[in-house]
Chain A
Amino acid sequence: MAQEYTLGEFEQVVLLAILRLKENAYGFTIGAEIAARTGRKPSAGALYATLDRLEGKGFVASRVGDPTPVRGGRAKRFFDVTGSGVDAVARAQRAYQSLLDGLTLPGVVHA
């Protein structure tokens, strides 16, 4: 049986940001969402390298939108999380949750 791919921490952050943004997930909004939620602004290089990797593994799918004037006539590249992407992020979160069980950390609310 093939070993399941384990998502890295930043990969999970990116997938969760896309899931939160729903149909409006593209480079700029994903970066802004991550910055707003985590307090760290990812570099374009790190973000796009991660998105490409996730797409290569089939965890996200992308589509090109229409060009807009505010972007200098350049099109947006929208991202959606695929079914296997949802499975992967859920599996990673279950692993975190399992590790958190029985622990009490300040500021962390347990589900």
Chain B
Amino acid sequence: MRNEIAEWVLSQAAPPEQAATIVGDLLEAQPGPVAFWVAVLRATASIASQPRRVLRGIFWFAYDISFSVCWGWFLMRMPKLGLLSFVILSILWVGVASLIRSARKNVSLLSFPLFFFVLEKYCLHTSTAFAVVAALWMLVFDGWMRWRKWRKSQTSLGDRPVAG
């Protein structure tokens, strides 16, 4: 279980096959429990710190946030028109954006403004609601998406034995 978690952490920065190889290398060095996790985090950080990955991450994060904020604002100000155009444009948006990102990811992004709108309008009524909801949404859905992607990549690796 520990090794699988480490592999998942590494796979956030490296391709799954490479993550498995690196975990194997780290295990072969036979570090202590603390040293193992330090090595996993250092390896993840050093791979993730490559400039292109960081820039790509910043770009998609800005894209997620700005998209959600724009739609959330639009729905709050003009609920009827906003909702109608939201539905129409969502269909188009999913179609276009799916060319570069997974459709499932876009569906989760599209549902965020609606979630935000409902909470802001009927429940929280505070400007901090956005920050809280956005953070939770990103954590839960991004985490879930990444976990699913990782699990899928694991099964696609074939019959590679898992640590006993």
Residues of A within 8 A of B (CB): 26-28, 31, 43-46, 48-49, 52, 67-77
Contact = CB atoms under 8 A, between A and B. Distances in A.
Contact of B29 (A28, A69, A74): A28
Contacts of A43: 42-43, 46
Q: Is the interface of A mostly helix, strand, loop or mixed?
A: helix
A76 B27 CA distance: 12
Nearest to A31: B25
B28 A71 contact: yes
Most chain B C-beta atoms within 10 Å of own C-beta, residue among A28, A43, A74: A74
A49 B43 CA distance: 11
B161 A45 contact: no
26 contacts: A26-B25, A27-B24, A28-B25, A31-B25, A43-B42, A43-B43, A44-B25, A44-B26, A45-B13, A45-B42, A45-B43, A45-B46, A45-B47, A48-B14, A48-B22, A48-B47, A49-B46, A49-B47, A70-B27, A70-B28, A71-B23, A73-B162, A74-B3, A74-B23, A74-B24, A77-B18
Interface in B30-49: 30, 39, 42-49
A71 B24 contact: yes
B21 interface: yes
Contacts of B28: 28, 70-71
B45 A74 contact: no
Contacts of B49: 45
B135 to A, nearest CB: 27
B160 interface: yes
A71 B164 CA distance: 11
A46 B18 CA distance: 13
Nearest to A66: B161
B25 A72 contact: no
Given A44-B22, A67-B160, A74 B46 contact: no
Given A44-B22, A44-B39, A48-B14, A72 B46 contact: no
Contacts of A69: 164
